[in-house]
A and B are shown apart, each in its own frame.
Chain A
């Protein structure tokens, strides 16, 4: 299977032609990942800018890895739907908030698009920026931005007066309850309970609540002023709903896995190695192509020449040569076992013996080191949490995948 995946990935690497939206894998009853979805994910990935310069094999690996992740996340989504996460009250409420915010954003975008730099002004700007295209773009944006603020303020105050919005912030001075109305207008009512969860305790931050109410009044009014039919918000809503559905499932799982702090401390007791940070060493290295050459370099370094300048000229390791032998900070255990063994007792700034590996003959110096240490629980609490979740997640994913199995469609493409 893996081989087929690889072959396919190699074949299909970045054809810049538009992708026909082929299904690459089916998941469970109704899930799938298509070629276009995979491409979109690849271009949004954190490695997207490095990707084009990578070797074919690395690119294929990343694509394959991404495809697997997408298939897994689709399986999780299916599971979340099966357990009704997209029907829950929390889901409904958050979706409604998201929709309001999205429409409000569209309103502002539309408002901004109404603004144009007047022709006369544009001519002036062109003259001022004399063929400097970037400066012209910046000058135009500055003009629009300045006028946008004024337009927005005017527009929103108009909406507020049209809806006859009244606020009752003085009610915050007494003891507000869930049903205390803080703002009211035509078809609009914001209650204390909309902003503050039922079980919230402690002192009220009045200023903060006032800001929130005003923000919500704006959001609701502007969202309402948008012609929803003209705005194609469905794709964004659907994407958000999908992510939210899965997120709610995972939140629930996390609560099951880690019901209290004791779960974490127990796990930490059982896996004390999590707290171990190995020694880190800043390493200088020159790699040579023969024992004889290594001996010659060893002689020159011991006689006073710099390992680093020699590495910059003679090292056969391209990475090392480019960096004049400065290999940076490496953790104990990162290097090959021959090297680890040879430098175990090496003192700082002392030249190692000649070390033979399958890459060549190495001479190494440790320039600096940060000692190994054991952290305490408080310092690595998050790491313990991540480890525990990762462990539980692996098992859980297996169950989910068994329930919503993958059906690869890749073979079909290889024959094309």
Chain B
């Protein structure tokens, strides 16, 4: 219906087709921030949840955090979210904390959470901030979905542009949890 430049489309294309890569941070790359390798050395990430209550990512420090950036229009995001729900249910008491950052309208995010039954906190960020925010976290092209794994002491363990699959979860996240499987 509308003519506005389809930035969203461009992102979707990225989102679906290209530049999907993941990085084990011990092997080199880092989120931006001039050599910062610890999330708590970043400017604090402060966002509202869907009820309008403010949260600081640091509130969850000490846990193994999977910080997942997503949007309701992003198809691949919808593929991984059901897995995240399973992880959160299964490993919550082993120290896992998934945090979703929805780059979308609050109404849509609320509907999504209700429909799919997301069991971890969802914070909302203005879609306009997508590039700036993702760039800051090591995702210069603004690809969604995007997930940053932060260890208990805040250091970055793994970043994933595109879908974070079970293999990556088992390889990079599970060893940080209190599990002896």
Question: Which residues in A have some Cβ–Cβ distance to B below 8 Å?
Answer: 13-14, 16, 49-56, 59, 130-137, 282, 323-324, 326-330
Contacts and interface: CB of A to CB of B under 8 A. Distances in A.
Given A14-B116, A52-B115, A132-B23, 11 more contacts: A52-B72, A53-B73, A53-B108, A56-B114, A59-B115, A131-B24, A131-B27, A134-B20, A326-B3, A328-B3, A329-B3
A53 B111 contact: yes
A253 to B, nearest CB: 35
B22 A131 contact: yes
Interface centre among B21, B104, B111 (most CB of A within 10 A): B111
Contacts of B2: 323, 326-328
A55 B162 contact: no
**Chain B interface size, under 10 / 10 to 19 / 20 to 34 / 35 or more:** 20 to 34
A282 B2 CA distance: 8
A53 B118 CA distance: 12
Given A50-B73, A131-B24, A329 B115 contact: no
A323 B4 contact: yes
B78 A52 contact: yes
Nearest to B76: A49
Contacts of A327: 1-2
Contacts of A135: 21
Contacts of A323: 2, 4
Contact of A133 (B4, B22, B104, B114): B22
B168 interface: yes
B107 A49 contact: no
A312 to B, nearest CB: 11
B75 interface: yes
A133 B165 contact: yes
A63 B123 CA distance: 29
B52 to A, nearest CB: 17
B1 A330 contact: yes
10 closest Cβ pairs, A-B complex: A131-B24, A328-B2, A53-B72, A53-B108, A52-B115, A328-B1, A133-B168, A52-B112, A323-B4, A53-B112
Nearest to B114: A56
A13 B109 CA distance: 16
Contacts of B34: none
A16 B116 contact: yes
Contacts of A133: 22, 160, 165, 167-168, 171
A52 to B, nearest CB: 4
Contact of B115 (A51, A134, A136, A324): A51
A404 B163 CA distance: 47
B24 A130 contact: yes
B115 A14 contact: yes
Contacts of A136: 167
Contact of B22 (A16, A49, A134, A282): A134
A1 B160 CA distance: 49
Given A133-B168, A134-B22, A49 B75 contact: yes
Interface in B54-111: 72-73, 75, 78, 104, 107-109, 111
Nearest to B168: A133
Contacts of B140: none
6 contacts: A49-B75, A131-B26, A133-B22, A136-B167, A282-B3, A326-B4
B117 interface: yes
Interface centre among A49, A54, A134, A137 (most CB of B within 10 A): A134
Interface centre among A51, A131, A323 (most CB of B within 10 A): A131
A49 B78 contact: yes
Contacts of B109: 53
Nearest to A59: B115
Given A49-B78, A52-B78, A133-B22, A16 B117 contact: yes
